Amino acid sequence: MSCSRRDFLKNTVAGAAAAAMPACSVILRTPDEAKAMTEGSKVRWAFLVDTEKCVGCGLCVDACKTENEIPYEAPVSRTWVERYVVTRDGKTRVDSPNAGRDGFITGEIRGEEIDPEDIDKAFFVPKLCNQCDNPPCVQVCPVGATYQTEDGVVLVDREWCIGCGYCVMACPYGVRFFHPVHKTAEKCNFCYHRITDGKEAACVQACPFEARRMGNLRDPEDPVTKVITNERVQVLKDEYGTKPHVFYLGLDEKVR
């Protein structure tokens, strides 16, 4: 059979087009995407902090350290409580001694005694990992040791983390640190081992005033979901596009 160059080129183009047709009609999806499209996770964990209710007792920090085996004396913590004191002269003083673990029992703030008469407002703000929907820490991990579960919680695999610290740098909220014993990246995971077992997170359980609560955003009947959807809530640093999932009631504009 003879085949001119023109015929050969024509046939090649036609053949390639025919071969590409079925490929066009198929969209490649990762297993995760496919699963999400067909069934989807029934759970999306979210956290609700009511700053109006927090008294800065520090029981949450204490409970977290114990539950998650973060050395008690180490100056790092998965969660912490900040105290804000705004005085009449317009200055804002912030502190979180020992991550707020021992409570705020004196009026002294960073070595300065403030006259109660001078205070315009003062409040406490608990902080923890925001379990972002677009987590920069997951994006930058070079080995995939930190990852997001389908119910929205970001976890760290201590067996696989190389300890490069890129995730620590990438988190705009400063929640990550190196575990003093395991020498791997560490952060709050909403007590994943507890919540997936039907229990409350250690800090939620320890809080005497219900300033910390957790719920499932996919369940419209969940009381926490109802607050988040019906009340005016705020998140921290949304300008980074991280889509944080720790929601705050009564958040002041001074909070950083």
Partner 1 sequence: MSSDLVVHGAEWTVKELFVYPNEFIYWSIQIVMYPYMTGLVAGAFVLSSLYHVFGQKDLKEIAQFSLVFSLALLPVAALPLLLHLQQPMRAMEPLLTPHFTSAIAAFGIVFSTYGLIVLSEIWFVYRGYFVAQVHALRDQPGLGNRIRRLVYRGLTLGAYDVSEDAIAVDHKAAKILAGVGIPVACFLHGYAGFIFGSVKANALWMSPLMPVIFIMSAVVSGIALCMLTYIVIMEWQAFRNRRRGGGTQASEIRGAEADVIAKSTRYLLGFLVAAISLEILDLIFRGYTAMKSWDILRSVMFKTDFIKIFVLQYTLGNLVPFILLILPGRTIKRTVVALLLVLFGVFMMRWNVVIGGQAFSLSFDGFMHYHIPIVPHSVETFKEGLFGALTVISMPFILFWIINKFVPSLDRDIETG
* Contacting partner 1 within 175-194 (CB under 8 A): 175-178, 180-181, 183-184
Residue 229 CA to residue 102 CA, distance in Å, equals 34
Those residues with Cβ within 8 angstroms of residue 190's Cβ, 6 or more apart along the chain or in another chain: 45, 47, 128, 129, 131, 153, 201, 214
Q: Which is nearer to partner 1, 8 or 160 (CB)?
A: 160
Whole-number Å distance between alpha carbons of 80 and 82? 7
- Compare residues 127 and 245 and give the one whose CB is closer to partner 1: 127
If binding is defined by CB under 8 A, does position 164 make contact with partner 1?
yes
- CA-wise closest residue to 47 among 189, 193, 213, 236: 213
Q: Binding-site residue total for partner 1 (CB under 8 A)?
A: 52
Residue 83 CA to residue 105 CA, distance in Å, equals 11
Integer Cα distance of 149 and 1 in angstroms: 60
Question: Which residue's CB is nearer to partner 1, number 164 or number 227?
Answer: 164
The first and second tokens of residue 49, run together, are 């902090």
230 Cβ contact partners less than 8 Å away, ≥ 6 residues apart: none
The contacts of residue 74 (CB under 8 Å, 6+ apart) are 180
Q: How far apart are CA 3 and CA 130, in angstroms?
A: 66
The least CB distance from residue 248 to partner 1, in Å, is: 16
Per CB under 8 A, contacts with partner 1 among 64-103 are 71, 73-77, 80, 82, 92-96, 98-99
95 or 219: CB nearest partner 1: 95
Q: Which of 127, 212, 213, 245 binds partner 1 (CB under 8 A)?
A: 127
Angstrom distance (rounded) from CA 136 to CA 146: 10
Among 5, 6, 110, 232, binds partner 1 (CB under 8 A): 110
Report phi then psi at 184, rounded to 5: -130, 165
Question: Least distance in Å: CB of 228 to partner 1?
Answer: 25
Nearer to partner 1, 132 or 224 (CB): 132
- Binding window for partner 1 (CB under 8 A); candidates: 9-17, 117-125, 134-142, 213-221: 134-142
For tokens 């409970």, name the residue.
63
Options 114, 140, 227, 235; binder of partner 1; rule CB under 8 A: 140
Q: Which is nearer to partner 1, 40 or 174 (CB)?
A: 174
Out of 219, 234, 235, 240, the only residue in the binding site for partner 1 (CB under 8 A) is: 240
User: Could you list the residues that contact partner 1 (CB under 8 A)?
Assistant: 71, 73-77, 80, 82, 92-96, 98-99, 110, 127, 136, 138-145, 160-166, 168-178, 180-181, 183-184, 239-241, 256
